[in-house]
Amino acid sequence: MKINYIEFFQTEVPNWMMASNQKAQEVGFNTEAYWTWANQSIVAICEKYGNDSLVNGQFHLIWEWLEKQAKGK
């Protein structure tokens, strides 16, 4: 599978971040509903890109960042 990384970083990541903000406003950021959505949506995107190591790594960084935000750090 050939991946267009420019499209991934310019479109997929920003679209996910916007959807994340919207979901956090809908259900609350540090709620079970938010974390379930975040996990499921990240898994779906990673699978869409064949679990490519760069895609997985990017979303791993995003997940770690979200955890820090949730802990107030």
Q: Is residue 64 part of a domain?
A: yes
Q: Is residue 53 part of a domain?
A: yes
Q: Is residue 73 part of a domain?
A: yes
**What range does the domain containing 45 cover?**
30-73
Q: Is residue 59 part of a domain?
A: yes
23-46 confidence digits (pLDDT tens): 999 999 999 999 999 999 999 999
CA distance 63 to 65: 5
What share of the chain in percent tops pLDDT 90?
A: 96
Number of domains in the chain: 1
Q: Is residue 62 part of a domain?
A: yes
Whole-number pLDDT of residue 69: 94
Determine phi and psi for 65, rounding to 5 degrees: -65, -45
Question: How many angstroms separate the Cα of 6 from the Cα of each of 1, 10, 14, 42?
Answer: 15, 6, 12, 18
Tokens found for residue 20: 């994340």
CA distance 42 to 47: 9
Whole-number pLDDT of residue 1: 82
Q: Is residue 66 part of a domain?
A: yes
Res. 68: pLDDT tops 90: yes
Q: Is residue 45 part of a domain?
A: yes
